[in-house]
Structure formats: C-alpha cells, structure tokens
C-alpha cells in the first residue's frame, strides 16, 4: 500500500517520500502510539526515527541481517547493499524495541534495546484448511520402501544444496528419491543431474498450495544449510516451521538459531558435509517407520502450539506492554 518505484536507489527515495506523505495522518490525526517496521529497510527506519521525535514507540521486526548479497547481484548492487547495510546498522541503535527471528540478530540493535526472540509463526492460512487436516493423517509406510526426500527453498550453495546433491551421489545404491523445489544458482546443475539420475527430480518454483501438497507427500523433509555458511547464525529458515507443521520427519543441520526447546523435534545432520548428509539420511533409513511417525506427530503438535498465531501474538502483546 506504500507506493514506490522499483529501481535501485529510486526505490529507497520514493519509499521515504511515501512515508513522509503518511506522516501527518499517522502522527497528528490518528495519534499512533506504536509503529511496527517489518524488514530492516533504511527508508522505513529513517521514517521511524522521525516519528520517535513525536513520542511514538518504534519496534522493528528483523527476519534477516541487513545487506544480504545474493549470487545473482551485480557489482553495483553489491556495493550499494554494503553502504545501505552500514546506514541500517546505525539507525537500528535508535529503535524502541526489536522482534527478532534469531538470537544472532541481537547485536544489530544493542544490548540495551528491549528484544523478543522467536523463530517465526505457523501461519493459520497454511494449517487451518480442512484439506490440510485430512492430509496430515499418516498414510501406510512400508519399511524398506524408497524414502522420498523433499527440499524446498533457495537452490544456493550457501543453503547447502550442493552438499545435498553430492550426498545423493554417495547414496547411489540407497533406496532414496530427492525432489527439489525452488529457484537459484544451482537450477542448471540440478536439471542436468535429473536427466542422468532418475532418483533426482526438479519440480521448479511452486505456489504455496502446490508446495504444501509436495511436503505432505514426502517421507523426509530436509534442511542441509551449513551453520558456517553465509548468515546462517543470523536467520531461522522459515521452511523449518512449515516442515514441522505438515507432520513429516525433519532432518536439519544444527544451525545456532534453533531454540533449545525446539531441539528434540528435529533429526540432525551432525557434520555439514556431503558425507555427513549422506550418513544422516542412511540413519533415517534405518529407523522404524512407526517410530518416525510418532516422532513427527509429536513435533507437529509442538509447533502448532508453540508457533501458533495465538501463542506468538500473546508474546508480542506482552512485549509491547512492557515497552509502553
């Protein structure tokens, strides 16, 4: 609803202008007491600093660190992101509070700023329709059958997708099938591998409803992101919440942003290498299907309570009351 021109640099200037046009209505007519800023975008943060002068509390919602460089970014985009990230880090020191999706993000706002940390929200739109509830009932699983592994997300090396592909080469004789959904730098390599190996399937980029169906039909959902690559310590993959919510076993690396209370509900890749990924998948193959079903059902029940909109809403409400 905030108009802008989607061109590098102009995007920032026009978003700031749009915010300034909103200023009289928000501050003088509606007399808002709190302003939430979702995403650390410098024009919005500048506007936040302005409204703070009029006794408005400003709370930022930070899902990722500033200035994340993508493999597809060109030279000038990378340079501009670096400058912008520096500006953002300065502005974040002047907010009233911060809602963070990973503990590693606390340093962005400083120790004196009130913070609330939680991994994310299990969207009601994702879990409350009748088709979802019916589909989550476990179908019959035959021990020894092919294990269908599904990965959904960015197809980038930083996310460990290359390790997953290499693991499939190691598991050449294992009864496994890998389906990958998303887009990124490894698309061409995945397509080439799928033509040579029928166990690897690339399904492209899907809508939320289409992806939900693929997740529900999986035997194992995987997150191979290495803890030491990119900004892994400063973000929590939202896919992990959706993975748990569909009631399938989830295999992940030990990224530091996983809260301690969530640890018992994941299966783990102990070594963030191709050999480590293949060993973890082999371990899953050795597990009893009834045990896996009970394990994933307990994880589903946990996340649908812990990360529900109601549960998270109560936490945010208490956080806001404390700041006020």
Instruction: Please give the pLDDT value at position 140.
Output: 47
Please state the rounded mean pLDDT for residues 107-135. Answer: 80
Instruction: Please give the pLDDT value at position 131.
Output: 56
pLDDT at 89 over 80: yes
Question: Does residue 217 or residue 135 have the better pLDDT?
Answer: 217
What is the percentage of the chain residues whose pLDDT exceeds 70? 93
Instruction: Please give the pLDDT value at position 19.
Output: 95
Instruction: Please give the pLDDT value at position 1.
Output: 77
Mean residue pLDDT of the chain comes to 90
pLDDT at 226 over 90: yes
Q: Where are the domains of the chain?
A: 10-119+310-323, 124-306
CATH fold of 124-306, please? Rossmann fold (3.40.50)
Instruction: Please give the pLDDT value at position 255.
Output: 92
End-to-end CA distance of the chain, in Å?
Answer: 27
């Amino acid at each position: 609803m905030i108009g802008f021109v989607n061109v590098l640099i102009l995007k920032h200037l026009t978003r700031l202008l749009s915010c300034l046009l909103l200023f009289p209505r928000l501050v003088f007519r509606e007399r808002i007491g709190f302003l939430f800023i979702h995403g650390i975008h410098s024009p919005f943060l500048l506007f936040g600093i302005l409204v703070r002068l009029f006794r408005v509390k400003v709370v930022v919602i930070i899902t990722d660190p500033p200035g994340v460089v993508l493999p597809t970014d060109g030279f000038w985009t990378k340079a501009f992101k670096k400058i912008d990230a520096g500006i953002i880090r300065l502005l974040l020191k002047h907010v009233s509070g911060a809602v963070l999706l990973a503990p590693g993000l606390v340093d962005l706002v400083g120790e004196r700023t009130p913070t609330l940390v939680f991994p994310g929200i299990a969207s009601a739109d994702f879990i409350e329709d009748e088709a979802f509830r019916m589909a989550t009932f476990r179908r019959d699983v035959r021990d020894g059958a092919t294990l269908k592994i599904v990965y959904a997300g960015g197809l980038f090396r930083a996310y460990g997708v290359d390790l997953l592909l290499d693991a499939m080469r190691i598991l050449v004789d294992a009864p496994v099938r890998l389906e990958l959904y998303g887009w990124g730098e490894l698309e061409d390599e995945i397509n080439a591998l799928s033509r040579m190996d029928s166990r690897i399937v690339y399904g492209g980029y899907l809508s939320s409803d289409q992806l939900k169906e693929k997740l529900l039909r999986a035997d194992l959902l995987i997150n191979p992101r290495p803890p030491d690559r990119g900004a892994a310590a400063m973000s929590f993959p939202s896919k992990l919440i959706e993975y748990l919510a569909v009631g399938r076993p989830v295999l992940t690396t030990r990224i530091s942003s996983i809260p301690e209370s969530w640890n018992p509900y994941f299966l783990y890749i102990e070594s963030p290498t191709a050999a480590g990924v293949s060993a973890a998948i082999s371990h899953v193959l050795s597990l009893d299907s009834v045990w896996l079903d009970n394990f994933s059902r307990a994880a589903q029940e946990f996340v649908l309570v812990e990360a529900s909109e109601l549960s998270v809403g109560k936490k945010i409400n208490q956080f806001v009351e404390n700041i006020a």
